[in-house]
C-alpha cells in the first residue's frame, strides 16, 4: 500500500490531500483495501450485536434487552454480516487479487469501482442510523418477510429499503466490473481454463450477483409501494399474497448464500495446493462443479418454504433439487482432500484456516442435507438447528475463508510477514470457540428451541450458556486478529516476492509489497501442458 | 491483448451486463403475474376461483365422506363480528352444499367488508367449486346490522383420495366504502 498522489495537487493541506486520495482513488489495490477495512469495521459492529444477544441468552429470562430491541439486534446482525461483512470482504479480495492473478494493470472500469465502494459507507450509515430513530430499527429479521415488514414494519423500514437499494447498486456495479476485467484484461496466454480458481469462482459469483441483486431490489421496491403507494403485492385484503414475498425473496436469497461461499471455495483452492506443494487435484472438475452449484442455486429456493403449505410435488421437487447440490459440493471437498493426499504439507496459519474451512463447511453442509429432507424440516424449521446450520457454513465457511485469504496475501499487501505464533494462537482459539458457540445450537434446536426469541425455556439453559461462553471467546479472538493485522501493516519480517515456498501464480511474481502499479505491460504466460 | 481489451470493449460489455441486471429487475415484477397464473393452474396457494357456470354443475354423487371445516377471521381495523354458523360439515363429493356465515357490524356507522377465501390444503382449491358466495362481492353492513351470508358449493369427484379433511377459510377485510354496483373482481 504505497502512498501515491499522482493526480492530487500538492499545494493542499496534507489532511485534505489524504482524504482526497482515498475518496478519489481509482487504484484497484487502494479500493480493495478500502473494502476490506469497511468489512472489518462492520464485522466488529455486527459482532458486537451478536455479543449483546449472546449475553441476553446466557441465562433464561429477560435480563438486558427488551424483546423489541432484541429483534432489532437480530435483524441488524444478519443484514450487516451478510451485506456489510461477507460480501464487501470478498469484493475487497477480488479487487486486490484478480488483476494481480490475471496479469491486468487494474480493474477495467476504475471510476465505477470507486463509485461502487463509496456507496457502501453511506448505505450502512443509513442502515445503522435506524437504531436511533423513533420506533426503533427494523425488527423483522434479515429476511424481512411481509407482512412484518410491510403492514407491521416500523417507520425506519423505509431507510432500510433505501439502504438495500444502495448496497444492491454497489454489488451489481462491482460485479459488472469484475466480469469485464476477467473477460477483457487477461494477460496473453491466460486462457479461461488456466485462470486461478479464485478468479473462476469470482467470475461465477459476479454473474450470480447480477442475476439476483436486481430481484432483491425488485422485492424491496414492491414493499415500498405496498407501504406507501396503495399497491397490494403482498397484502391479502387487496388480492395479494404474502407467500409471494417469500418466493421472490428466496429466489434472490438462495443464490445469495452461494454468493457468500463460492469465493471462499476459490480461496481454499488457492491455499491448499500452496501448502500441500502439489497442483490442485481436478482443476476442471472444480470449475464445472462451481458452475453446476451456481445453476442449481436458482431452482432450490422452495426449501426455505416447506412449511408454507406447499403441495407435495413442490416439496418433492425442491427436496431432490436441494440434495442434488450435495453432489458438486462433494466433488469439491473430495478434490481438496485429494490435493492434500500425499502432499508435503506444512501448517502455516492460512493452511490451518483453509483446512478448518473444508472440515467445518462440510459439517454445515451435512446439517443442510438434514434440513433438505421435508419431513425433518417440518421439525427443524425456525429452530436453533437452522441457526447452527447456517452459522457453520458462514463462520467457519465464509469468515474463515476470508481470514485464510488475509493471512495468505497479507505479506503481499504489506511487504511484512505476520506473526506466525500469534496467527496460530488466533486460529486454534477461534476454531475451538466457533465449535463451542455453534455446535450446542444443533442440540438446543433439535430439542425444540425456537430461533429469534429473546427468552427460552429452562431446559435449554446449559446449551445456551455454552454457546454464550464460546461466543464471548470468539469475539475476543477477533480483537487478536485486528492486533495481528495492524502489527503486520506497521512492520515485521520482510516478505519475499514469492512469500510461500509452494506458491504459484502471477501475484507471486511481483515484489512484496505489491507496487502501486503492476503489470503495466502484460506478462506472458508460458504455455504448459494442461 | 485481445481486441476487446479497449475502453470501447469494456463499455460494450458493461452495457450488456447492465441490460442483464435491468431485465432481472423486471423479472422480479414479472414473477407476480407468473405466480398468479401458476397458482391458478395448480391451486397451490389455496385461492378459489369465481362462480361456476351452470352447465359445469356437479356430476353424480360419490359415496365418500369428506369433512369440511369453516374458519372465519376478521382483518385489522374491521369492527365486525364474523364467524361460521356451523363449524364443520361432512359432505360427499358431487353433493351441493349450502352453509352460512354470520356477520354483525358493531360500529355506529355503515362499514364495507370484503372476504378473501383460502382453502387448505392448497390443491383442494381446484376441486371446491362455488355457485354462490358472499365473497364474490363486497358486503355493506349498516350500523349494528347483522346478516347471515350464504355460500353454495360442491366438491368434485376428482378430489385426491388422500384428502379427507379440508378447510375453507375467509378473512374479512375492511375496504373503502363504494357504490354497491362496483363489485370486487373476486
Using pLDDT thresholds of 50, 70 and 90, give the confidence band for residue A372.
very high
Please write the tens of the pLDDT for every residue from A352-367: 999 999 999 999 999 9
User: Which 8-state DSSP code applies to residue A450?
Assistant: B
Query: Is B160 at the interface with chain A, CB within 8 A?
Result: no
pTM: 0.90
CB–CB of A151 and B186 under 8 A? no
- Of residues B96 and B61, more confidence is placed in B96
Catalytic sites of A, residue numbers: 77, 106, 142, 170-171, 254, 256, 258, 269, 303-304, 329, 332, 451
E strand or H helix at A327:
helix A326-340
User: Which 8-state DSSP code applies to residue A494?
Assistant: B
Distance CA A472, CA A280 (A): 37
Q: Is residue B180 part of a domain?
A: no
Please write the tens of the pLDDT for every residue from A465-516: 999 999 999 999 999 999 999 999 999 999 999 999 999 999 999 999 999 9
CB–CB of B10 and A219 under 8 A? no
Please write the tens of the pLDDT for every residue from A414-471: 999 999 999 999 999 999 999 999 999 999 999 999 999 999 999 999 999 999 999 9
Distance CA B182, CA A445 (A): 51
Query: Is B178 at the interface with chain A, CB within 8 A?
Result: no
For the beta sheet containing B128-133, the strands, ordered from the edge strand earlier in sequence to the opposite edge, are B80-84, B97-105, B146-155, B128-133
CATH number at residue B144: 2.60.370.10
Chain B positions touching A210 (Cβ under 8 A) are: 17, 20-21, 24
Write down the pLDDT at residue B156: 86
- What does residue A509 show for φ and ψ, rounded to 5 degrees? -90, -15
Q: B120 and B161: one domain?
A: yes
Distance from the Cα of B25 to chain A's closest Cα (Å) equals 4
Write down the pLDDT at residue B179: 54
Chain B positions touching A179 (Cβ under 8 A) are: 13, 17
Closest Cα partner for B91 from B58, B70, B66, B120?
B66
- What does residue A500 show for φ and ψ, rounded to 5 degrees? -105, 140
A172 SS3 class: helix
For the beta sheet containing B111-120, the strands, ordered from the edge strand earlier in sequence to the opposite edge, are B88-91, B66-74, B165-174, B111-120, B139-141
Tell me: cis bond preceding A513? Omega within 30 of 0 counts: yes
Q: Compare CB distances from A233 to B2, B32, B39 and report the shortest one's residue.
A: B32
CB–CB of B116 and A237 under 8 A? yes
* Domains A12-252 and A261-515 alike in fold: yes
Query: Is B173 at the interface with chain A, CB within 8 A?
Result: yes
Using pLDDT thresholds of 50, 70 and 90, give the confidence band for residue A313.
confident
Q: Is residue B179 part of a domain?
A: no
Beta-carbon contacts of A505 under 8 Å, excluding residues fewer than 6 positions away, are A101, A196, A270
Please write the tens of the pLDDT for every residue from B107-129: 889 999 989 888 888 788 888 88
Q: Compare CB distances from B45 to A184, A213, A243 and report the shortest one's residue.
A: A243
CB-CB contact of A246 with A308 (8 Å): yes
Rounded mean pLDDT of chain A?
94
Query: At residue B55, does pLDDT exceed 60?
Result: no
Write down the pLDDT at residue B53: 61
Query: At residue A370, does pLDDT exceed 80?
Result: yes
Which of A269-273, A451-455, B135-139 is the least confident region? Answer: B135-139
**CATH code for the part of the protein at A12-252:** 1.20.210.10
> A261-515: CATH homologous superfamily?
Cytochrome c oxidase-like, subunit I domain (1.20.210.10)
* Side-chain-side CA neighbours of residue B99 (13 Å): 21
Mutation target vs B (from A187, A214, A230; most B CBs, 10 A cutoff): A214
CB atoms within 10 A of CB B87: 11
Question: For the complex shown, is ipTM > 0.90?
Answer: no
Q: Is residue B38 part of a domain?
A: yes
Q: Is residue B185 part of a domain?
A: no
Q: B138 and B60: one domain?
A: yes
Q: Give percent above pLDDT 90 in chain A.
A: 89
Q: Calculate the alpha carbon distances from A318 to A65, A152, A249, A363 in Å.
A: 38, 30, 16, 21
Using pLDDT thresholds of 50, 70 and 90, give the confidence band for residue B39.
confident
Locate the chain A residue with the closest alpha carbon to B12: A180
Domain ranges of chain A: 12-252, 261-515
Q: Is residue B183 part of a domain?
A: no
A238-249 in b/e form (b: 16+ CB < 10 A) is: eebbbbbbbbbb
Measured CA angle at B11 (ends B5, B12), to 5 deg: 90
Using pLDDT thresholds of 50, 70 and 90, give the confidence band for residue A235.
confident
Sign of CA dihedral A419, A422, A427, A430: negative
Using pLDDT thresholds of 50, 70 and 90, give the confidence band for residue A144.
very high
Query: At residue B54, does pLDDT exceed 60?
Result: no
Query: At residue A237, does pLDDT exceed 90?
Result: no
Distance CA A498, CA A509 (A): 7
Distance from the Cα of B34 to chain A's closest Cα (Å) equals 10
Q: Is residue B181 part of a domain?
A: no
Which residues are bridge partners to B103 per DSSP?
A: B82, B147
Distance CA A459, CA A465 (A): 11
Q: B13 and B68: one domain?
A: no
Q: B9 and B101: one domain?
A: no
Q: B34 and B64: one domain?
A: no
Q: What is the mean pLDDT of residues B66-74?
A: 93
B65 SS3 class: coil
Q: Calculate the alpha carbon distances from A209 to A258, A259, B26 in Å.
A: 10, 7, 15
**Domain range enclosing B96:** 54-174
Q: B10 and B85: one domain?
A: no
Amino acid at each position: 500500500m504505497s502512498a501515491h498522489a499522482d493526480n492530487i495537487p500538492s499545494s493542499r493541506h496534507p489532511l485534505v490531500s489524504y482524504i482526497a486520495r482515498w475518496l478519489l482513488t481509482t487504484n484497484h489495490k487502494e479500493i480493495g483495501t478500502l473494502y476490506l477495512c469497511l468489512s472489518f469495521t462492520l464485522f466488529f459492529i455486527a459482532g458486537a450485536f451478536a455479543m449483546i444477544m449472546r449475553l441476553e441468552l446466557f441465562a433464561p429470562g429477560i435480563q438486558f434487552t427488551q424483546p423489541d430491541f432484541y429483534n432489532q439486534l437480530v435483524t441488524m446482525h444478519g443484514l450487516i454480516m451478510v451485506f456489510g461483512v461477507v460480501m464487501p470482504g470478498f469484493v475487497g479480495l477480488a479487487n486486490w487479487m484478480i488483476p494481480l492473478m490475471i496479469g491486468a494493470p487494474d480493474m477495467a472500469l476504475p471510476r465505477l469501482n470507486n463509485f461502487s465502494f463509496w456507496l457502501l459507507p453511506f448505505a450502512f450509515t443509513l442502515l445503522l442510523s435506524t437504531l436511533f430513530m423513533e420506533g426503533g430499527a427494523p425488527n423483522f429479521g434479515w429476511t424481512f418477510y411481509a407482512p412484518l415488514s410491510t403492514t407491521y414494519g416500523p417507520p425506519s423500514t423505509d431507510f432500510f429499503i433505501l439502504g438495500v437499494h444502495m448496497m444492491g447498486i454497489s454489488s451489481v456495479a462491482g460485479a459488472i466490473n469484475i466480469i469485464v476485467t476477467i473477460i477483457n484484461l487477461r494477460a496473453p496466454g491466460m486462457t479461461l481454463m488456466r485462470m486461478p480458481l479464485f478468479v473462476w469462482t469470482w467470475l461465477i459469483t459476479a454473474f450470480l450477483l447480477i442475476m439476483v441483486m436486481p430481484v432483491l431490489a425488485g422485492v424491496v421496491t414492491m414493499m415500498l409501494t405496498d407501504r406507501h403507494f396503495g399497491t397490494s403485492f403482498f397484502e391479502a385484503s387487496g388480492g395479494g399474497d404474502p407467500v409471494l414475498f417469500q418466493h421472490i425473496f428466496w429466489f434472490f436469497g438462495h443464490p445469495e448464500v452461494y454468493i457468500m461461499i463460492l469465493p471462499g471455495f476459490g480461496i481454499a483452492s488457492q491455499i491448499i495446493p500452496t501448502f500441500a506443494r502439489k497442483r490442485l487435484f481436478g482443476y476442471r472438475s472444480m470449475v464445472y462443479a462451481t458452475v453446476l452449484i451456481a445453476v442449481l442455486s436458482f431452482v432450490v429456493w422452495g426449501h426455505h418454504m416447506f412449511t408454507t403449505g406447499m403441495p407435495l410435488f413442490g416439496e418433492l421437487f425442491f427436496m431432490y433439487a436441494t440434495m442434488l447440490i450435495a453432489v458438486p459440493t462433494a466433488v469439491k471437498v473430495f478434490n481438496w482432500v485429494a490435493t492434500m493426499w500425499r502432499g508435503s504439507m506444512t501448517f502455516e496459519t492460512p493452511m490451518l484456516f483453509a483446512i478448518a474451512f473444508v472440515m467445518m463447511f462440510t459439517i454445515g453442509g451435512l446439517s443442510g442435507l438434514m434440513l433438505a429432507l421435508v419431513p425433518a424440516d417440518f421439525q427443524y424449521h425456525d429452530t436453533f438447528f437452522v441457526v447452527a446450520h447456517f452459522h457453520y457454513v458462514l463462520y467457519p465457511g465464509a469468515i474463515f475463508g476470508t481470514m485464510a485469504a488475509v493471512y495468505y496475501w497479507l505479506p503481499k499487501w504489506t511487504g511484512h510477514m505476520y506473526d506466525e505464533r500469534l496467527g496460530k494462537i488466533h486460529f486454534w482459539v477461534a476454531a475451538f470457540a466457533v465449535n463451542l458457540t455453534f455446535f450446542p445450537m444443533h442440540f438446543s434446536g433439535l430439542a425444540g428451541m425456537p430461533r429469534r426469541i429473546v427468552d427460552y425455556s429452562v431446559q435449554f439453559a446449559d446449551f445456551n450458556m455454552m454457546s454464550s461462553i464460546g461466543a464471548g471467546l470468539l469475539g475476543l479472538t477477533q480483537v487478536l486478529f485486528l492486533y495481528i493485522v495492524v502489527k503486520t501493516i506497521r512492520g515485521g519480517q520482510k516478505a519475499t516476492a514469492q512469500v510461500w515456498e509452494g506458491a504459484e501464480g502471477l501475484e507471486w511474481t511481483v515484489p512484496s509489497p505489491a507496487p502501486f502499479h503492476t503489470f503495466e505491460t502484460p506478462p506472458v504466460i508460458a504455455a504448459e501442458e494442461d | 491483448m485481445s481486441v476487446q481489451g479497449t475502453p470501447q470493449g469494456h463499455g460494450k460489455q458493461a452495457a450488456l451486463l447492465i441490460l442483464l441486471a435491468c431485465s432481472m429487475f423486471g423479472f422480479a415484477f414479472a414473477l407476480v403475474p407468473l405466480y398468479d397464473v401458476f397458482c391458478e393452474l395448480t391451486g397451490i396457494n389455496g385461492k378459489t376461483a369465481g362462480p361456476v357456470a351452470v352447465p359445469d354443475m356437479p356430476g353424480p354423487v360419490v359415496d365418500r365422506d369428506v369433512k369440511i371445516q369453516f374458519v372465519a377471521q376478521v382483518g385489522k381495523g374491521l369492527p365486525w363480528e364474523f364467524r361460521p354458523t356451523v363449524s364443520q360439515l361432512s359432505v360427499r363429493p358431487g353433493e351441493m352444499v349450502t352453509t352460512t356465515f354470520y356477520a354483525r357490524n358493531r360500529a355506529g356507522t355503515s362499514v364495507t367488508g370484503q372476504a378473501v377465501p383460502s382453502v387448505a390444503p392448497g390443491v383442494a382449491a381446484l376441486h371446491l367449486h362455488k355457485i354462490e358466495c358472499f365473497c364474490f362481492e363486497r358486503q355493506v353492513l349498516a350500523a349494528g346490522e347483522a346478516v347471515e351470508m350464504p355460500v353454495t358449493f360442491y366438491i368434485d369427484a376428482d378430489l385426491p383420495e388422500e384428502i379427507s379433511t379440508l378447510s375453507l377459510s375467509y378473512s374479512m377485510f375492511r375496504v373503502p366504502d363504494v357504490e354497491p354496483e362496483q363489485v370486487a373482481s373476486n
